[in-house]
A = this chain, B = another copy of it.
């Protein structure tokens, strides 16, 4: 049995409880998780008897190589073909991914199902299974994290006078790729000076400035699996305010990591970071959550956010990334990729967390 077959078999066991006879999987990371397909157009119709994969002719050869279930290649709208297959299998209660299917597709599929068959919205069941990573997935994430850190080190060694945010982002992404990454896990963020106070700044023509922070948030994807890291540079000698801000965020990050262990609710990790920042009077300067799961997507459940109740489990791969942002001055974020283990956690990211003065 391949890993994909065993994932599908284990998912099918949940159908009775969900009161569905089959599930239409349309969200690509979920399709990849259940079939191995890496292309951009594919759907899986999964019933206890049969797994049918639908794609278009561009992916005929690729799906024959990658996908270990029945492959149907066709042109034109796919929903009529899905409905026909569902009718053939006499599926009466067809589950669909309610957060991933547009109203339009839902409406079109509903109109094409045979009389007596019904659509049943289903919430995040494949995503929930994806939270706990298998040993192979963990090794892949570990390797993605290593590339991430190595590309960061090579990238910052290439910093030269006059370099812009965009230039440094280009260097980092280039190194990633040469180190074997499929691609960046998201657009690399390089934010210089006061722009570091924008938590999601796109890199632009701003030069890296002396006497100011540079925030670098980056990820490398390997075999589909992501990594995520944020580090701060300081060009020159940081003053008191910069050091205090950095120190507070680092303390918050370590406190959050300390709260990562199986059984703890994910919201508790967020509370740990937030508590430290409150002590430093920085609670309002921290306006995002403390972290998120990652894997085939860069943002996956669980979310380390206020009041989140998901219990952490061994095998989850998550980020821990508190920050504090002060308009006009700059922001600090420190982020590691972390693995929940049986006894606590392992920080996968090897890059040191000293404030790197250049």
Contacts and interface: CB of A to CB of B under 8 A. Distances in A.
A202 to B, nearest CB: 6
A61 interface: yes
Contacts of A57: 287-288
Contact of A58 (B56, B167, B187, B199): B199
A197 interface: yes
A327 B65 CA distance: 13
Nearest to A62: B198
Contacts of A353: none
A123 interface: yes
B39 A200 contact: yes
A74 B104 CA distance: 28
A134 interface: no
Contact of A98 (B60, B99, B102, B167): B102
Give chain A's interface residue range (CB within 8 Å of chain B): 35 or more
A180 interface: yes
A46 B176 CA distance: 42
B59 A200 contact: yes
A61 B327 contact: yes
A337 interface: no
A242 interface: no
Interface in A155-209: 166-167, 169-171, 173-174, 176-178, 180, 182-183, 187, 197-202, 205
Interface in A202-226: 202, 205
A107 interface: yes
A176 B184 CA distance: 15
Q: Which of A39, A103, A202 has the most CB of B within 10 A?
A: A103
Centre residue among A38, A57, A61 by max chain B CB count within 10 A: A61
A100 B101 CA distance: 9
Contact of A177 (B100, B170, B197): B170
Given A59-B200, A98-B104, A288-B58, A183 B178 contact: no
A200 B58 contact: yes
Nearest to A182: B202
A194 to B, nearest CB: 10
A40 interface: yes
A121 interface: yes
B166 A177 contact: yes
Interface string A39-58: 11000000000000000111
Contacts of A170: 174, 176-178
A4 interface: no
Nearest to A174: B174
A106 interface: yes
B98 A101 contact: no
Contact of A201 (B60, B62, B121, B169): B62
Interface of A: 38-40, 56-62, 75, 96, 98-107, 121, 123, 166-167, 169-171, 173-174, 176-178, 180, 182-183, 187, 197-202, 205, 287-288, 327
5 contacts: A58-B287, A62-B201, A101-B102, A101-B103, A171-B174
Given A107-B121, A170-B176, 19 more contacts: A56-B288, A57-B287, A59-B200, A61-B198, A61-B327, A75-B287, A99-B105, A100-B102, A101-B102, A101-B103, A103-B103, A103-B106, A103-B121, A166-B177, A167-B178, A173-B174, A173-B177, A174-B174, A183-B187
